[in-house]
């Protein structure tokens, strides 16, 4: 059976950010007990928090995993995937790159099929909101921003960092799945593996041209 602290880390990994009250509800324990567990996890460098200011009243705090916690959870799996990608890419006569592109394109299509029923809405913005919720457990998206050039879907923690460093096809797999689920053109305009703070996908209304992707 998982400990309360392990369950806390799992909830934060799944939802991104949670308040003490939200964690207490999910864990079935009182706020003071949640805070004690969070204090221990923070002391171990696994949890951090930020203040959220409101128009009225005092700010409240939300808790999230640190980069160290995210890396620790995914490191072993990431190394395996990275090695597999490099081995496939190194097959003779360029066949490896073509095979890898084909496999990851099919994975993007499969991912879209798995989550298609979770994406709904009459407008592109409504579909994007449901898409973020649908892909949250995959670690692919965690926010949306509307800017002058269009709607941006963002991810602040790359779930496939080592694999993406090994091949750009990994990023194209996610981009392909997002485009299929939204039924709209999508370009990746920012990547964590290129030194930026987050992965950034620009979505255009169907029928409109979009910018060139970085991958």
Same domain, 183 and 135: yes
Q: What residue numbers bound the domain in which 54 lies?
A: 4-65
pTM of the prediction? 0.62
Is residue 213 one of the residues assigned to a domain?
no
The alpha-helical segments, DSSP class H, found in the chain are: 4-15, 20-27, 31-43, 67-89, 95-115, 124-135, 161-166, 169-182
pLDDT in tens, 117-163: 999 998 888 999 999 988 877 888 888 998 888 899 999 888 788 88
Residues 55 and 77 in one domain: no
143, 165, 138: which is closest to 156 by C-alpha? 143
Higher-pLDDT residue of 85 and 115 is 115
16 in a domain, yes or no? Answer: yes
Give the phi and the psi of residue 57 in degrees, each rounded to 5: 85, 180
Query: Is a pLDDT exceeding 80 seen at residue 60?
Result: yes
Q: For the chain, what is the radius of gyration of the CA atoms?
A: 19
Handedness of CA 3, 5, 7, 9 (dihedral sign): negative
Q: What is the pLDDT of residue 10?
A: 86
Distance of alpha carbon 75 from alpha carbon 139, whole angstroms? 14
In a domain, 212, yes or no: no
Q: Verify that 197 and 91 share a domain, yes or no.
A: yes
Q: How many domains does the chain have?
A: 2
Encode pLDDT of 167-201 as tens digits. Answer: 888 899 999 999 999 999 999 999 998 988 889 99
Residues 11 and 37 in one domain: yes
Average pLDDT score over the chain: 86
Structural contact between residues 181 and 119, judged by C-beta atoms closer than 8 angstroms: yes
Q: Which pLDDT belongs to residue 206? A: 63
Contact 159, 199 (CB under 8 A): no
Reported as a pLDDT band with limits 50, 70 and 90, residue 68 is confident
- Give yes or no for residue 210 having a pLDDT over 90: no
| 24 and 56 both lie in a single domain | yes
CATH number at residue 11: 1.10.10.10
- 3-class state of residue 215 by DSSP: coil
Rounded to 5 degrees, φ, ψ at 195 are: 95, 0
Residue 210, in any domain of the structure: no
**For residue 98, what are its two tokens?**
């073509």
């Amino acid at each position: 059976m998982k400990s309360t602290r392990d369950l806390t880390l799992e909830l934060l990994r799944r939802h991104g950010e949670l308040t003490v009250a939200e964690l207490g509800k999910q864990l079935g324990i009182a706020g003071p007990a949640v805070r004690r567990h969070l204090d221990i996890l923070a002391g171990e460098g696994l949890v951090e928090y930020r203040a959220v200011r409101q128009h009225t009243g005092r700010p409240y705090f939300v808790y999230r995993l640190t980069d160290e916690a995210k890396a620790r959870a995914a490191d072993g799996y990431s190394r395996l995937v990275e090695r597999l990608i490099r081995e496939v890419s190194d097959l003779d006569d360029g066949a490896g790159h073509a095979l890898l592109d084909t496999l990851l394109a099919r994975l993007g299509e499969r991912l879209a099929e798995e989550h298609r029923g979770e994406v709904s809405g009459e407008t592109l913005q409504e579909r994007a909101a449901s898409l973020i919720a649908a892909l949250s457990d995959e670690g692919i998206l965690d926010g949306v921003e509307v800017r002058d050039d269009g709607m941006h879907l963002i991810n602040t923690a790359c779930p496939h960092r080592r694999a993406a460093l090994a091949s750009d096809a990994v990023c194209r797999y996610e981009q392909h799945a997002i485009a299929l689920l939204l039924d709209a053109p999508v370009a990746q305009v920012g990547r964590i593996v290129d030194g930026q703070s987050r992965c950034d996908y620009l979505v255009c209304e169907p029928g409109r041209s979009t910018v060139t992707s970085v991958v």
